[in-house]
Amino acid sequence: MWIIFAQQPWEFHMNVQTTNDDVGKTIHRMTEILGRKIFMIRYQFSLIWNLSADKRAYVLGAKSLRNMCDTVVSKRMKEYEKMQQNNISEDHVIEDGFRTKSKVMLDLLIKHSDLTEKDLKDEVSTVIFGGTDTTSNATVYTLLMLGLYPDVQQRVYEEVMDVIGPENSVETEHLLKLEYTERVIKESMRLFPVVSIVSRYVAEDVEIGDYVAPAGITIGFPIIHIHRSANYWKDPMKFDPDRFLPENIAKRHPLSYMPFSSGIRSCIGWKYAMMNMLTLTARIIREFTVFTAYKSLEEIEVQLEIFTKIKNGPKIWFETRS
């Protein structure tokens, strides 16, 4: 069992009108607090948790984030209603007087679902909270691996230039062709899964080998240890994107790799996350060369909270390509 004792708790205060820059910081702080809530023994006692500075800080952050989401949803719903009244085509979204053909997730939910305003606010809160630190951290781990393995980085750069070109915008059809880059991202997420551990409630007795997990308990699945286990991966601490060639995937147990969890409670936005990470990686590698101060994979120490964190890291920097 992993027990992580965090540093001295701290408090933060947010205004009701949270700016976009504040959102990422708020979510980052909230996930740190949740990590302490899960792994610190004293926080398993409700009285101690309820009286803690971490609890007060978490409530403030959650209120601030919820206010921001509520404001966004209410504003978009009013705009949608106005468009309907003025017979403006629903195939367009009006932004600052300009018309664009793209729609965001919220527009599609408003148009194609029967969700109430409260339901929409809940959905947006979930997506923002679950999709901010996750994709950014995963992209950082990918860039770290590219800095550590220059030959891999060069191959990714060549693929990006071949598929997208030096100046073209990254389009959906490009992402489908970035096969090696996608394998690099997947291998990075094997070694550094964003979510290090997931849990599942046991609804009925389940036999697991020689043991029986009784109904009513919660089981934790240490994803990072599964991803690095020699039981499932040959030479597990070797960075090898070709592990994710179709023929190699077929040889492994399907649950030996689950960066987005698995089953009916798996991440609903994993496809969007992969598209996001591919786009970010391609744009960055096209413009910059990535370097890291680490000399080997073994030097990189991780700290397990809700999300996997690199201790004293990630120690990467960029230089503009000539």
- CATH number, residue 220: 1.10.630.10
| Helix 117-131 × helix 20-39 angle, to 10° | 80
Do the strands 218-222 and 288-292 form a parallel or antiparallel pair, or are they unpaired?
Answer: unpaired
Q: pLDDT tens digits, residue range 136-155?
A: 889 999 999 999 999 999 99
Top pLDDT among 9 and 263 is at: 263
Top pLDDT among 281 and 87 is at: 281
Q: Is the domain of 219 the same as that of 127? A: no
Q: Is residue 66 part of a domain?
A: yes
- Distances, alpha carbon 98 to alpha carbons 92, 224, 262, in Å: 10, 46, 41
Let me know: does 102 contact 93? Beta carbons within 8 Å: yes
Q: Is the domain of 110 the same as that of 197? A: no
- State residue 63 phi and psi, 5-degree precision: -65, -40
Mean pLDDT of 114-125: 73
Q: How confident is the model at residue 313 (pLDDT cuts 50, 70, 90)?
A: confident
Q: How confident is the model at residue 304 (pLDDT cuts 50, 70, 90)?
A: confident
Question: What's the pLDDT at 28?
Answer: 73
Q: Is the domain of 49 the same as that of 127? A: yes
Cα–Cα nearest to 114, from 103, 123, 104: 123
The CA distance from 183 to 102, in Å, is 28
Q: Is the domain of 119 the same as that of 164? A: no
Q: Is residue 261 part of a domain?
A: yes
Which tokens hold the place of 217?
A: 């308990």
Q: How confident is the model at residue 21 (pLDDT cuts 50, 70, 90)?
A: low
Q: Is the domain of 214 the same as that of 257? A: yes
pLDDT above 90: residue 99: no
Q: Is residue 3 part of a domain?
A: no
pLDDT above 70: residue 129: no
Q: Is the domain of 168 the same as that of 276? A: yes
The CA distance from 124 to 264, in Å, is 20
Domain edge (last residue) among 131, 148, 172: 131
Q: How confident is the model at residue 307 (pLDDT cuts 50, 70, 90)?
A: confident
Cα–Cα nearest to 130, from 10, 27, 51, 209: 27
Let me know: does 211 contact 192? Beta carbons within 8 Å: no
Q: Is residue 182 part of a domain?
A: yes
Q: Is the domain of 149 the same as that of 298? A: yes
Domain of residue 152, residue span: 136-320
Q: Is the domain of 72 the same as that of 145? A: no
Q: Is the domain of 78 the same as that of 99? A: yes
Question: What's the pLDDT at 82?
Answer: 78
The CA distance from 281 to 277, in Å, is 6
Q: Is residue 8 part of a domain?
A: no
* Burial 102-113, CB ≥16 within 10 A → b, else e: eeeebbebbeee
Question: What's the pLDDT at 179?
Answer: 97
Mean pLDDT of 114-143: 76
Chain mean pLDDT for the chain: 82
Domain edge (last residue) among 110, 131, 152: 131
- Give the bridge partners for 291, in sequence order: 317
Domain edge (last residue) among 96, 131, 166: 131
Q: Is residue 279 part of a domain?
A: yes
Beta strands in 1-144 (DSSP E): 93-95, 98-100
Question: If 0-12 CB within 10 Å is exposed, 13-18 middle and 19+ buried, where does residue 165 land?
Answer: exposed
- State residue 102 phi and psi, 5-degree precision: -85, 150
Question: What's the pLDDT at 6?
Answer: 33
Percent with pLDDT over 70 in the chain: 81
Q: Is residue 198 part of a domain?
A: yes
Is 69 marked as a binding-site residue?
A: no
pLDDT above 90: residue 177: yes
Top pLDDT among 219 and 3 is at: 219
Q: Is the domain of 145 the same as that of 276? A: yes
Question: What's the pLDDT at 78?
Answer: 81
The CA distance from 184 to 188, in Å, is 6
Q: Is residue 271 part of a domain?
A: yes
Question: What's the pLDDT at 13?
Answer: 32
Q: Is the domain of 105 the same as that of 188? A: no
Q: Is the domain of 171 the same as that of 262? A: yes
CB atoms within 10 A of CB 42: 11
Helix (H, G, I), strand (E, B) or coil at 78: helix
Domain count, the chain: 2
pTM of the model: 0.74
